[in-house]
Structure 1
Amino acid sequence: FKAHGCANCHSYSGQGGAGARLAQNPITFQAFVNYVRRPKGSMPPFGNQVTEAELADIYAFLKSVPPSPDPKSIPLLNQID
């Protein structure tokens, strides 16, 4: 994920930033591969620069990221008016 520069736009844990949020995304592996190879929007195309095995590793990493906590469960955020 970091080696191919994905974290630069999608953040270290895939939660999004300049790029879309990838973690906890219900997209299938094949749809993920297709999008990386032929993206739409501002994401650069990676074509075959990333191997199928690397894409499988990236996909597994993104699926392993736990969901963000509900903001209501964070006491400090509840103190903001």
Structure 2
Amino acid sequence: MGAGPERHHRIDLLNDLKNLYDLIGRRPKSSDIDFFHEKGLCVTSQRYRDRFGSIKNAVDEMEKEFGCKKQEQLF
């Protein structure tokens, strides 16, 4: 059994989030997602909220999916 289209859509969303995570070097926040959306990122923070319930949940899922964990920026 292959992965269904819903799985691929989820992975695409998480992959975009992973790219943003790598770019800014920390867990993305809603404001980061919206800032980069204006610069060409396909997905808005609202889309992540709709799909995952919150930005935190989306970032947690991304870290679990890709096996990455960076310390949150403290300042």
Where on the TM-score scale, by shorter chain, does this alignment land: which range?
0.3 to 0.5
Greater helix fraction, Structure 1 or Structure 2: 2
Compute the TM-score of the two structures, normalised by the length of structure 2: 0.40
User: Larger RCO: Structure 1 or Structure 2 (Cα < 8 Å, ≥ 6 residues apart)?
Assistant: 2
TM-score (norm 1): 0.38
> Which has more radius of gyration?
1
